[in-house]
Amino acid sequence: MIRVTLPYHLRVLAGTGKEVQLSVEEPVTQRAVIDALEATYPTLRGTIRDPVTERRRAFVRFFACEEDISHEPPDAPLPPEVADGREAFHVVGAMAGG
Amino acid sequence: MTAVRVLVGTQKGGFVLTSDGSRKEWQVSGPHFGGWEIYHMVGSPADPDRLFASQSSSWFGQVVQRSDDGGRSWQPVGNEFTYEGTPGPHQWYDGTPHPWEFARVWHFEPSPTDPDVVFAGAEDAAIFKSTDGGASWVELPGLRTHATAPNWQPGAGGMCVHTILVDPTDPERMHVAISAAGVFRSEDGGTTWRPANRGLKSEGIPDSEAEVGHCVHRIARHPERSETLFMQKHWDVMRSDDGGDSWREISGDLPSDFGFPIGVHAHEPDTVYVVPIKSDSEHYPPEGKLRVYRSRTGGEDWEPLTKGLPQADCYVNVLRDAMAIDTMDPCGVYFGTTGGQVYGSADAGDSWQPIVRDLPRVLSVEVQALA
């Protein structure tokens, strides 16, 4: 199972806890994880990436294995530690605003 | 009528204020969707327990919430707002072309007769329609693709459709207002649109009497007099008696004709309310006195309404969608401020009381009178 952590507002919107677990078929990529997340929690559709362009929203970042992988291609394989569930895929909201 | 429900959208969540018909004691529910910007919350005239809320954030985009039980519970519905075709550019603040991009919904306008039909006014300026209670949205592209649209420019808050009026006597007749393009009217349910800005004069644009380009802040009308429209423009309070084909100024003796909201009395079509603001550079009331001005003559002659409102050291603003009027008798008038106060009057503006004082910045206020 793939582990995904969510920022506070998306947890509330999805009605779930900080971490969710998803079944994702190989290859495990950013796109595959977000597709699975949106399929499991349809209320999150459009909140992480634009529903039309599928571009990641500017104030959302993806972290894994202590690296910022936001700018990796969406179809690039995620680290094996994420694919086998040892590490979580982190969806992070930018620390900005008032 | 036995109850009144005031829907308040703020920068950090939505609030539902309820009272009985006396409108003296209020219960506060919220924040709903805490931490999110609630640009607008409004109820369906056809089913008062059906509410729509525009929930958005710079982080996570647009969410549309719907309640079918008067705000006790909510469910997210459709949030895909896709422009038809390949959107061309409009003008950016600096006059350069800028691609049309959806940012948020500023305003929902539910159908007066069908609870499943609701219009959405969007930034960047466009109008969308749902016929399934908000589950899905389709653009009415005739507005955004109007021949003048490539020359539209944003107002300070963004280039938004912030006002939608549906004629209660003929739902095919609609008006929208766009900052900073002006008023457009449709006679065919939103398929085609034409500008309705003749008579407006705006200093600060190259042609002060241009067909489009006016920063219209709000338009309003009485449901039983559909040809008469009232407008609070960036500067100037205006009136039209031919459905927007021509406008004349009615600012009269106001201390300032700059402001944002404008509203019409529920039972007196010539009684109008505005909240004058000192200037476009200083968005607070003149002299630090929060005064609603009422005209009982359809404009020109205005009286300050001050009883119960702060008359010293008050420097809040009242935004364009943050005033509402109920249909009780006498009608109630409500407005919210950028300082988080929501004031209400149960006597058509003669006296006021703060319903709640310390909310986040108020973005919108709507009211429902419930049987």
E runs forming strands in B48-134: 51-57, 61-67, 75-76, 89-91, 97-99, 104-110, 118-123, 126-130
Of A50, A51, A93, the CB nearest to B59: A93
Within chain B, which residues score under 50 in pLDDT?
A: none
Determine which of A13, A41, A49 to mutate to test the interface with B (most B C-beta atoms within 10 Å): A13
Tell me the pLDDT tens digit for each residue of A84-94: 999 999 999 98
Indicate which CATH number applies to the domain containing A21.
3.10.20.30
Q: Which amino acid type is present at position B367?
A: V
Of A9, A46, A97, the CB nearest to B62: A46
Searching chain A, which residue's CA lies closest to the CA of residue B75? A43
3-state secondary structure of B273: strand
| Count of the separate structural domains present in chain A | 1
Phi, psi of B74 (to 5 degrees): -135, 155
Inside any domain, residue A29: yes
Inside any domain, residue A57: yes
Confirm if B322 and B293 have CB atoms less than 8 A apart: no
Residues of A in contact with B76 (CB under 8 A): 13, 43
- pLDDT value of position B154: 92
- B219: buried, middle or exposed (CB in 10 Å: 19+, 13-18, 0-12)? buried
Bridge pairing between strands B362-370 and B3-10: antiparallel
- pLDDT value of position B257: 98
Inside any domain, residue A51: yes
Inside any domain, residue A69: yes
**A53 confidence band (pLDDT: 50, 70, 90):** confident
Q: Is the ipTM of this complex over 0.90?
A: yes
- pLDDT value of position B1: 55
Residues of A in contact with B58 (CB under 8 A): 59, 97
Of A7, A47, A94, the CB nearest to B61: A47
How many whole angstroms separate alpha carbon B222 and alpha carbon B352?
22
pLDDT tops 70 at residue A77? yes
B248-249 sheet: strands from edge to edge? B216-220, B229-233, B237-240, B248-249
CB contact under 8 A, A57 and B80: no
CB contact under 8 A, B63 and A93: no
Determine which of B32, B54, B59 to mutate to test the interface with A (most A C-beta atoms within 10 Å): B59
Average pLDDT, rounded, for chain A: 94
Inside any domain, residue A98: no
- Residue ranges making up the domain that contains A51: 2-93
CB contact under 8 A, B80 and A51: yes
B60 has a chain A CB within 8 A of its CB: yes
- CA distances (Å), B317 to each of A75, B177, B346, in order? 48, 20, 22
Q: How many CA atoms lie within 13 A of B220 on its CB side?
A: 26
Tell me the pLDDT tens digit for each residue of B61-94: 999 999 999 999 999 999 999 999 988 899 999 9
pLDDT tops 80 at residue A97? no
Tell me the pLDDT tens digit for each residue of B350-362: 999 999 999 999 9
- pLDDT value of position A51: 86
Confirm if B272 and B295 have CB atoms less than 8 A apart: yes
Tell me the pLDDT tens digit for each residue of B147-205: 999 999 998 889 999 999 999 899 999 999 999 999 999 999 999 999 999 999 998 88
Inside any domain, residue A40: yes
**A17 confidence band (pLDDT: 50, 70, 90):** very high
